Amino acid sequence: MKLRVVIDRIEDGRLAVLEIEGVPGDFVWPVEFLPGNVHDGSILDFTIEDNPQAEAAQREKVRKLREELLRRTEKGASH
């Protein structure tokens, strides 16, 4: 999915107020995460894509954390 974004304004040199075509309301985004040459009125295209590999890795990380917490809980209950 591609979103067309207009930088309405930049506040305090740190935050950009964005208007996304077809989406009601404004969004605030840190300027540090935008290209360095943006300014009021800049138009950007944001692309949003699925990332199944990252999702699977995150699920595995959470699974391992749950296992570790369960082991700790069981270990603590046995003492």
Residue ranges making up the domain that contains 19: 1-48
Q: Is the pLDDT of residue 79 over 80?
A: no
| Residue 41 dihedral angles phi and psi, to the nearest 5° | 90, -10
Q: Is the pLDDT of residue 76 over 90?
A: no
What's the pLDDT tens digit per position in 6-61?
A: 999 999 999 999 999 999 999 999 999 999 999 999 999 999 999 999 999 999 99
Same domain, 55 and 38: no
Same domain, 23 and 8: yes
- Best CA proximity match to 35, nearest among 27, 26, 44: 44
Same domain, 39 and 56: no
Query: Could you tell me the pTM of the whole model?
Result: 0.66
How far are the Cα atoms of 19, 28, 73 from residue 23, in angstroms, in the given order? Answer: 8, 13, 46
Same domain, 32 and 57: no
Number of domains in the chain: 2
